[in-house]
Chain A
């Protein structure tokens, strides 16, 4: 394996990609965020934007699995009685007409166990892969993600998922603050607004890579010898 040709520096900073210390983190590829009838669809956003990264992510997933890399999937969702949903989050969702816990075409919005909460088949977890359920945007807050990664000896994280400016950024920022070396795959992510997606990529790269680096998935596959 080699370093990834990434922006603004070859990733990772400390040498070639080491599959034993690197995890692929797939954020919230759920029907609620990229499927018809889910939460994002109910809010009226263009699903093409959040679905754009599905195909390249499936290719990266296959390569990571073949390389023996740890794979982590995250899901945002709440208990059926919404006792783990912050009241302001609930209020905002209702105000925009996509209330968390309300019945929709894919079951109750953002509720655990409902069809909308499931990860879409294109990038679904396989047996043995870690799945982290989170009540918020960041995958580290109120979850065991940090513990899972530490036990597995992971220090480097490669991110795919949705949405770029919200759950991906919140998680990547937390990871970076905790000392993980982070890479975001630009074609494996999307946001509800294309301009905000582009700005979110830019935010990672500013000031010499303030939150890590950004690369196309082709560059990662090339570095892994999987292209």
Chain B
């Protein structure tokens, strides 16, 4: 596992039933303003298939007025709208993820420094355990994009961890039978007891 700064997710073996692959910015506005968008989209396409087959859900977030979709959802994928750079702005993303019990998010798409970073920051505040997909997120400017990834990993993973779409696929494929990730509340209880 090569995710940084810690093996993702923080709470143990990934449970695909709690995983959503969230694709943001996959529309014309970003496609015209990012570096090699098709490379990121192809990588997302490949890992999306693994996620779907492995029991994860794929969520495609589309911003009102941001142009033609450039990522084709499968029939079981969820498509939700938003009205800002963050996929959580002005739309039902948070509610839909909660209803589906998906609290582990892998985030990719077009606009690493814009849509992806905003969505990651908002998701992190809402308690989602996030993995930013470095090769599945097309930057506007590769040098700035590198820094965006660096910011995510600072302070022990301030917004979560950074990995690749292959890392994500490996995690889903390797999930198999085994002890499920500890529920978040149980981990917090553990810390409370430790302090008491």
Contacts and interface: CB of A to CB of B under 8 A. Distances in A.
Contact of A203 (B113, B150, B157): B113
Contact of A174 (B86, B148, B157): B86
A128 interface: no
A142 B126 CA distance: 9
Interface stretch (A4-12, A57-65, A90-98, A216-224): A90-98
Contacts of B195: 101
B188 A90 contact: yes
A176 interface: yes
Contacts of B191: 82, 87, 90, 94, 101
Contact of A88 (B11, B117, B151, B185): B11
Majority SS of interface residues in chain A? helix
B26 to A, nearest CB: 17
B154 A141 contact: no
B150 A166 contact: no
A210 B85 contact: yes
B121 A170 contact: yes
A191 B152 CA distance: 12
Interface string A149-192: 00000000000000001100110011011100000000000011
Given A88-B11, A207-B114, A137 B124 contact: yes
Contacts of A43: 155-156
Contacts of A166: 121, 151, 154-155, 158-159
A148 interface: no
28 contacts: A43-B155, A45-B155, A82-B188, A87-B188, A88-B10, A91-B11, A92-B155, A92-B158, A96-B155, A137-B158, A138-B122, A166-B121, A166-B154, A170-B121, A173-B121, A176-B85, A177-B84, A177-B89, A178-B84, A178-B89, A193-B151, A196-B150, A198-B147, A199-B143, A199-B144, A199-B151, A200-B147, A200-B151
